Amino acid sequence: MSRSRIVVGISGGIAAYKSCILIRLLRKAGADVVAVPTPAALEMIGKTTLEALTGNRVHVRTSEAADQVTHVRHAQEADAIVVAPATANTLAKTRWGIADNLLLNTLLAARCPVVMAPAMHTEMWTNPATVENVAVLRSRGIDVLDVGVGQLTGKDAGPGRMLEPEAIAEHVLATVARTRDLQGRHVVVSAGGTREPLDPVRFLGNRSSGRFGVELAREARSRGAEVTLVAANVEASVLERAGGTRLVRVESARDMLEAMEREASGADIVVMCAAVADYRPVERLDVKRKKTGEDLAVRLVENPDILAALARDRRKEGRLVVGFAAETGDETASALEYGIAKARRKGADLLVVNEVGERLGFGDVDTAVAIVADDGTVVREAEGSKSRMARVIFDAIRERM
Ligand code: C5P
């Protein structure tokens, strides 16, 4: 495997001295490191130190070595960028896309994973401006780490310390490993909600937006997999984020069964994230149903269970199958307890249980998941944006492979 290249961005906080240790640790782990300090960082540590530690030239301004378009080259060649320390100023500028130094230009041009390790005084860290900037950056998939609590510059103490270089290095190396850990694998993800036609214009459907499935497809792509997304009624604006995946569009549960059986043969990992209707109308009228003034009863018949079918043959076909269970709790049991019972019953390798409600779990909102193995053990619990949860889910899948 080729050597990974990591850009270490350094902004102007006192914690900048610790980025020297971070560079040492990354190099010790075998990475090729390029340091990109901001002008303010160079008031804290010297360019010579950074060049000696990385063994690479250090540039600060976009105008230096302009013929080499350094920021674009750094961004294109990097397997990951870590900004440590990330000051409140650099976080804010990154959020707004401001690019008045080489590091900010590099961040703006980056397509690789970006990790930011904030360091600032407590007042600045808890300021609503910073809180909002961090939330926006995280929602865009930038991995803004938490801060440590303890001694700050001067006499102050509290939240705002940069995490220790060892913790940052470990995190960045795991991030880089994730960019390749599904290389050569074929992943099939289903997303969205099926529509079961009543007549040419009406259907029985559900609230699934397809966002979670799209985030899963995206995550699998970013880890190097070849991805097929089987999408049931997912809006184009949502599908946009799945760029680079092979797209198969379906409408009903039976369409999806057919597509999944076809696509899953030869796949290494199948994730059934779609909300598949359990029932469909027995009859689909060829013409629009007329109003009669009478009550109307629609007879429903059960749909095939796609997940169960894929899980049944999984060993023989040599694939790992993951299901989803959107659960609600009641007086008898919690959402998780229902999920654990379902994990035992379904026979998928892993079942991702998430609690849903009218405003919970659907659309563009944070979610909480518990990942349950087929023997009912909870292997992971996590909470956050759907893109973060997608990462957690593929971490669990990797562990299981
Ligand atoms: O049993 P329940 O519908 O809650 O299970 C949800 C899981 O089963 C999801 O992974 C969903 O994609 C899958 N499923 C399926 N075929 C159905 C119903 C659900 O594959 N007919």
Closest ligand 1 atom to residue 306 Cα is 20
Q: The domain 186-400 belongs to what CATH superfamily?
A: CoaB-like (3.40.50.10300)
Lowest mean pLDDT among 53-67, 112-126, 215-229, 338-352: 53-67
pLDDT at 156: 80
Closest ligand 1 atom to residue 274 Cα is 12
Residue nearest ligand 1's atom 17 by CA? 305
Sequence spans of domains, the chain: 5-178, 186-400
Residue located via tokens 């990097």: 78
Lowest mean pLDDT among 65-79, 98-112, 154-168, 234-248: 65-79
pLDDT tens digits, 105-116: 999 999 899 999
Query: Average pLDDT of 215-235?
Result: 96
pLDDT at 366: 76
pLDDT tens digits, 361-385: 555 567 889 999 999 999 999 988 8
Of the pLDDT bands very low, low, confident and very high (cuts 50, 70, 90), residue 152 is confident
Query: Average pLDDT of 221-238?
Result: 96
Of the pLDDT bands very low, low, confident and very high (cuts 50, 70, 90), residue 67 is low
Closest ligand 1 atom to residue 309 Cα is 20
Decide: residue 38, CB within 10 A, 0-12 exposed, 13-18 middle, 19+ buried. buried
pLDDT at 196: 97
What does the alpha-carbon distance between residue 297 and residue 26 come to, in Å, rounded to a whole number?
A: 66
What does the alpha-carbon distance between residue 259 and residue 315 come to, in Å, rounded to a whole number?
A: 20
Of the pLDDT bands very low, low, confident and very high (cuts 50, 70, 90), residue 153 is confident
What pTM, to 2 d.p., does this model score? 0.83
Supply 64's token pair: 């230096």
Residue nearest ligand 1's atom 8 by CA? 307
- The stretches of 235-380 forming alpha helices (DSSP H) are 236-239, 253-264, 306-312, 314-317, 335-346
> Active site includes 206?
yes
Nearest to 81 by CA among 53, 102, 111: 111
333 contacts: CB under 8 Å, gap ≥ 6: 341
Mean pLDDT of the chain: 92
Supply 167's token pair: 């913790």
pLDDT tens digits, 41-50: 999 999 999 9
33 contacts: CB under 8 Å, gap ≥ 6: 5, 6, 7, 8, 23, 26, 27, 53, 54, 56
Indicate the Cα dihedral angle 210, 393, 325, 205, nearest 10°: 10
Nearest to 378 by CA among 319, 332, 325, 331: 325
Residue nearest ligand 1's atom 13 by CA? 307
Structural element, H or E, at residue 369: strand 367-373
pLDDT at 268: 97
186-400: same fold as 5-178?
yes
What percent of the chain lies above the pLDDT cut of 70?
97
Instruction: Please pick, among 101, 105, 206, 303, the residue that the annotation labels catalytic.
Output: 206
Length of the chain counted residue by residue: 401
pLDDT at 277: 96
pLDDT at 376: 92
Lowest mean pLDDT among 241-245, 363-367, 385-389: 363-367
Query: Average pLDDT of 340-359?
Result: 85
- HSE on the CB side for 323, CA within 13 Å? 27
Query: Average pLDDT of 21-37?
Result: 97
pLDDT at 299: 97
pLDDT at 388: 86
| Residue 53 contacts residue 37 (beta carbons within 8 Å) | no
- What spacing in Å lies between the alpha carbon of 302 and ligand 1's midpoint? 12
pLDDT at 84: 98
Q: Is the pLDDT of residue 138 over 60?
A: yes
pLDDT at 1: 57
- For residue 248, the Cα-to-chain-centroid distance in whole angstroms is 21
- The stretches of 110-187 forming alpha helices (DSSP H) are 122-126, 128-139, 165-178
Nearest to 6 by CA among 28, 145, 15, 202: 28
Q: Does the beta carbon of 253 sit less than 6 angstroms from any atom of ligand 1? A: yes
Q: Does the beta carbon of 306 sit less than 6 angstroms from any atom of ligand 1? A: yes
Of the pLDDT bands very low, low, confident and very high (cuts 50, 70, 90), residue 288 is very high
**Beta 320-327 vs 300-302: how paired, if at all?**
unpaired
Of the pLDDT bands very low, low, confident and very high (cuts 50, 70, 90), residue 243 is confident
Neighbours of 258 (CB within 10 A): 15
What does the alpha-carbon distance between residue 320 and residue 393 come to, in Å, rounded to a whole number?
A: 13
pLDDT at 355: 81
| Residue 104 contacts residue 92 (beta carbons within 8 Å) | no
Best of 306, 353, 356 for a ligand 1 pocket test (most atoms within 8 Å of beta carbon): 306
Q: Please name the CATH architecture into which domain 5-178 falls.
A: 3-Layer(aba) Sandwich (3.40)
pLDDT at 283: 94
pLDDT tens digits, 163-209: 999 999 999 999 999 988 999 999 999 999 999 999 999 999 998 99
Query: Average pLDDT of 223-241?
Result: 96
